[in-house]
Amino acid sequence: MVDCTDVEISLADGQKLPAALALVPDASGPRPGVLILHEALGLNDDMRRIAGRFARAGYVSLAPDFLAGLGPKPFCIARFARGLAHPGRGRPYRQLEGARRWLAARPEVSPRAIGVAGFCMGGGFALLYAAGAGVQVVASFYGAVPVDETALEGICPVVASYGGRDRVFGPQAERLEAALTRSGVEHDVRVYPDAGHSFMSQHGGLTARIGSRIPLRVGYAEPAAEDAWVRMLAFFDRHLGGPA
């Protein structure tokens, strides 16, 4: 049974970062940890679902809410995006590093076995953070790829998944694979031709109806989602030592 609880992380600047922590209580031995970076919509029930799925796979997962305290939704998304434009210095990077340290200090977690998985806006965030950060592996789901590949210098092994019907981010998979190949970084980058953007997320209502009609072709695609999940877990298990 998975425990998924809301927590607050105390940061170095005195601020508090809300997050969802998911784990299987009383499991044996320290386990790998994973940081989950949410989509543009923020920490919602779907991101909590993904955190729970990581926990059932044997990981201790932490999903911070980077939009908390930034004001009304349209403004907080814009402020979050501005912070992402300054790798290593922007507010989201400082918050994420605080979250990583907090997770690594948990008694259930093996501190040298931590990965990061990002979705949508969080996918690009994950790639930029993992370049030189204290994580051992990174998964990017349909995340933006920097045009200047020097931004990826020092990155850990990468597993990435894109939707071929996503006209905005899908084509960026080729650039990511080329950059990682040139730098000699181990990677697994795949494009799913029948999937669009956000194919891992189970959105409903207006978000789903609008998303399916825009060039991103947003929508859950089960075959792609399940294959990407299996690939990611195998990649994480290999680089984090696998759950105890």
State the angle between helix axes of 121-130 and 91-104 in degrees (0 to 180), rounded to the nearest 10: 70
Report the pLDDT value the prediction gives residue 114, as an integer from 0 to 100: 98
Tens of pLDDT, residues 171-193:
999 999 999 999 999 999 999 99
201, 123 Cβ separation under 8 angstroms: no
Report the pLDDT value the prediction gives residue 80, as an integer from 0 to 100: 85
- Other beta carbons within 10 angstroms of residue 92's beta carbon come to 25
Backbone angles phi, psi at 8, to 5 degrees: -125, 130
pLDDT at 68 over 70: yes
232, 161 Cβ separation under 8 angstroms: yes
Report the pLDDT value the prediction gives residue 242, as an integer from 0 to 100: 75
Kindly list the domain boundaries of the chain, sorted by start residue. 3-240
123, 145 Cβ separation under 8 angstroms: no
| Helix (H/G/I), strand (E/B), else coil: 111 | strand
Tens of pLDDT, residues 22-37:
999 877 779 999 999 9
* Domain 3-240: CATH class, spelled out: alpha beta
pLDDT at 243 over 80: no
Instruction: Look up the pTM and report it.
Output: 0.92
pLDDT tier, 77 (very low <50, low <70, confident <90, very high otherwise) = confident
